[in-house]
Amino acid sequence: MFTKILIANRGEIACRVIQTARKMGIKTVAVYSEADKDARHVMLADEAVNIGPAPSRESYLVADKIIAACKQTGAQAVHPGYGFLSENAGFAKRVEEEGIIFIGPKHYSIAAMGDKIESKKLAGTAGVNCIPGVNDAIETPEKAVEIAKGIGYPVMIKASAGGGGKGLRVAYNDKEALEGFTSCRNEARNSFGDDRVFIEKFVEEPRHIEIQLVGDSFGNVIYLNERECSIQRRHQKVIEEAPSPFISDATRKAMGEQAVALAKAVKYQSAGTVEFVVGKDQSFYFLEMNTRLQVEHPVTECITGLDLVELMIRVAAGEKLPLTQAEVKRDGWAIECRINAEDPFRNFLPSTGRLVRFAPPAQTMHQANVTDWYGVRVDTGVQDGGEIPMYYDSMIAKLIVHGKDRNDAIAKMREALNGFVIRGVSSNIPFQAALLAHPKFVAGNFNTGFIAEHYAKGFKAEDVPHDDSSFLVALAAFVRRKSRERATGITGQLPGYAVQAGSDYVVITLDTAGEHIYTPVNVTEIEGKSGSSRIKIGQECYDICSNSRLNDVVITGTVNGQPFTAQVERGANNVAIKNPLALRVQHNGTKIDAMVVSPRMAEMHKLMPHKAAPDMSRFVLSPMPGLLVDVAVQVGQKVQAGERVAVIEAMKMENVLFAAADGVVSKVVAAKGESLVVDQVIVEFA
């Protein structure tokens, strides 16, 4: 067994590998770019080596620097994580030639299966059903359009070296094929250093189901059940679960055996995943093989009780697999939500910056200890006060729960999301909460088009269903009343001027357009119950009991005897809340800003004039921090609504900005190649 390994990666996966290595008594070496010098993985590792500037093509993608770091520190093996160099056959080969063990498959397996074009040819030769398409690299946008027409729309344009949703577009017409081809090539070149692109038929209403497998150097390969990964946005997975609520035992067995046969054909060693597109009739087609650890591997660990990182390390060290196919367990149900730094209410634009507050829910399962079952686990590479840089992907954390069945897992996940505190950057937690509450998701009735179908016009606050929105109003009144009660106990108050807690309040739910909602409430104490109040709103009654402190962001307790977890913050403590007197209440993805005041103060508030926001419709503003890679207009040009104006690169994705209305360009304020901040003016219209 190794005594020291180097992790050629960053973020949560680097931290994940460090945890297992620590459990096994193996010392770890982290590598980091200048943007990551204070990152969590650097602090967790026993040693750390700086490998260059922030852009990944100058640091994490430079094989020479990784190998030099191994030699400098005496690391005997390299774990590549996922992304970056994890599926680079040339890197795996070079590492082995330098006498360093690659904790992953052999380079010839990566070459055969990691390349999307070559793997399809190999699968076809092996008799595996493949989706119709052209598996040779395409050189020009015009050729891409010609091929797409021949196959028939819709088509999928895909980078050969792609993964994680990078370098992938679906085109429904010639225009989308032309633009998609160019964007795919650019993203692939920037993310993987390989700009080859191919095209295949896009199977409509498919499910994306993948088989986890692991092989050793003795020719043994087993499959560890499947993962359901159909909940995707822009071809990036959002929620993953194991097992799948869709496939039968017979289909699971057939898919697993086919995946194993394919792996054995290329003498596969280590953990890997074979991805399938599955039709409504449970027919399945080989999509690709990921010759690395997957982002969503924790859900498989939960239902099997296996540490996949440990298996990878042991196989790389020459050990046999410790179990047979018959010994693989499938116990309970696991769900993973990817918590990303993006704003779901602004079309999921990337959100970078400092994590002013980062407090995940309490963990009862831990990364390297797979004997902890039926609880909550958080895999993350960040910490309170850390930075979310614009150079890498948008993942903040992975939230994983393990339940006794699917409904139990969904309930656990909703509560865990309620207790996940992220401030300073936007996150997709409200979107995750909405997905988990959607009737079709709960019923297991969905496919890869689920998000596009149900959120075709984007995601809005009203898309977040809440079982009882009046509960948020009641909770605001409860917290305000507790604050008033505490104020009554302050010593030294002048006689006749002491604070009175009172029982009649009005909760003003604030609206940005000035259309506030005024809700009269009555709050009284429940005799004999400390930290409890009875809140009456019309005919509704809420008995709330909580021992959480007033300055706690996460409040736990019971409402009418049922447990709840919610978040409450004062405007004075959060600059994102525009009114310093307001309380922000969040529960099950729904958020309100509310003032809790006396009836007289509510009457006065109604007389306050509304201050409208300034009109910014003449400007094209940068919706995120990023690099301005293209300005497609010039001064004097007539632009129509929907026309391309600029392209911003952030978090390894290209984001195209379009004109919101017809107009004439009066000024181009920002230049190509400039680093932009949020709301910086790019173009001004006359």
Tell me the average pLDDT across 582-586: 95
- Sign for the CA dihedral angle at 663, 669, 670, 672 comes to positive
- Examine the fold and report which residue of 167, 186, 201 is the final residue of a domain before the chain moves on: 201
* Residue 554 located in a structural domain: yes
Q: For helices 406-418 and 429-437, what crossing angle results, to 10°?
A: 150
* Residue 614 located in a structural domain: no
What is residue 164's predicted lDDT score, i.e. its pLDDT?
Answer: 67
Per-residue pLDDT tens digits for 284-315: 989 899 999 999 999 999 999 999 999 999 99
Backbone φ and ψ for 645, nearest 5 degrees, come out as -115, -45
Q: For helices 89-97 and 63-73, what crossing angle results, to 10°?
A: 30
Give the distance, in angstroms, between the CA of residue 683 and the centroid of all CA atoms in the same chain.
Answer: 31
What is residue 552's predicted lDDT score, i.e. its pLDDT?
Answer: 93
- Examine the fold and report which residue of 182, 201, 220 is the final residue of a domain before the chain moves on: 201
- Quote the DSSP letter at residue 572: G
What tokens appear for 195 in the block?
């700009």
Q: Residue 598 is part of which domain span?
A: 470-487+499-606
SS3 383: coil
Whether residues 599 and 666 fall in one domain: no
Closest-CA residue to 233 (of 83, 116, 337, 328): 337
CATH number of the domain enclosing 256 = 3.30.470.20
CATH number of the domain enclosing 669 = 2.40.50.100
Backbone φ and ψ for 439, nearest 5 degrees, come out as -55, -40
The residues with which 108 forms a beta bridge, in sequence order, are none
| Selected residue with higher pLDDT from 50 and 126 | 50
The Cα–Cα gap between 217 and 576 comes to: 55
Whether residues 149 and 177 fall in one domain: yes
- Examine the fold and report which residue of 103, 122, 151 is the final residue of a domain before the chain moves on: 103
Tell me the average pLDDT across 428-442: 96
* Residue 30 located in a structural domain: yes
* Residue 109 located in a structural domain: no
Cα distances (Å, whole numbers) of residue 296 to 47, 241, 280, 402:
27, 8, 24, 13
* Residue 112 located in a structural domain: no
CA triple 134-137-138, angle to 5 deg: 85
Whether residues 328 and 449 fall in one domain: yes
Beta strands 554-559 and 644-650 are: unpaired
Whether residues 381 and 519 fall in one domain: no
The residues with which 6 forms a beta bridge, in sequence order, are 29, 78
Per DSSP, the residues of 27-95 read: EEEEEE-GGGTT-HHHHHSSEEEE---SSGGGTTT-HHHHHHHHHHHT-SEEE--SSTTTT-HHHHHHH
Per-residue pLDDT tens digits for 437-487: 999 999 999 999 999 999 988 898 878 878 898 999 999 999 999 999 888
CATH number of the domain enclosing 137 = 3.30.1490.20
Whether residues 330 and 432 fall in one domain: yes
Per DSSP, the residues of 296-359 read: THHHHHHHH---HHHHHHHHHTTPPPSS-GGG----SEEEEEEEESEEGGGTTEE--EE-SEEE
Whether residues 271 and 378 fall in one domain: yes
Tell me the average pLDDT across 590-600: 95
377 neighbors 400 (Cβ within 8 angstroms): yes
Query: Hunting for tokens 């390349």 — which residue is that?
Result: 115
What is residue 514's predicted lDDT score, i.e. its pLDDT?
Answer: 87
Q: What is the pTM of this model?
A: 0.85
Whether residues 482 and 356 fall in one domain: no
**Among 210, 288, 301, 649, the one annotated catalytic:** 288
Whether residues 340 and 425 fall in one domain: yes
SS3 256: helix
What tokens appear for 346 in the block?
């602004």
* Residue 226 located in a structural domain: yes
Q: How many domains does the chain have?
A: 5
219 exposed, middle or buried (CB, 10 Å; 0-12, 13-18, 19+)? exposed
* Residue 125 located in a structural domain: no
The residues with which 540 forms a beta bridge, in sequence order, are 537
The yes-or-no answer on residue 288 being catalytic is yes
pLDDT at 341 over 80: yes
Whether residues 70 and 168 fall in one domain: no
CATH number of the domain enclosing 83 = 3.40.50.20
Backbone φ and ψ for 277, nearest 5 degrees, come out as -95, 125
pLDDT at 82 over 90: yes
Whether residues 220 and 293 fall in one domain: yes
* Residue 126 located in a structural domain: no
Whether residues 322 and 459 fall in one domain: yes
Within 10 A of 520 (CB to CB), how many other CB atoms are there? Answer: 13
Cα distances (Å, whole numbers) of residue 174 to 116, 639, 655:
24, 21, 20
Per-residue pLDDT tens digits for 262-276: 999 999 999 999 999
Per-residue pLDDT tens digits for 646-659: 999 887 778 889 99
Per-residue pLDDT tens digits for 23-49: 999 999 999 999 999 999 999 999 999
Whether residues 221 and 184 fall in one domain: no
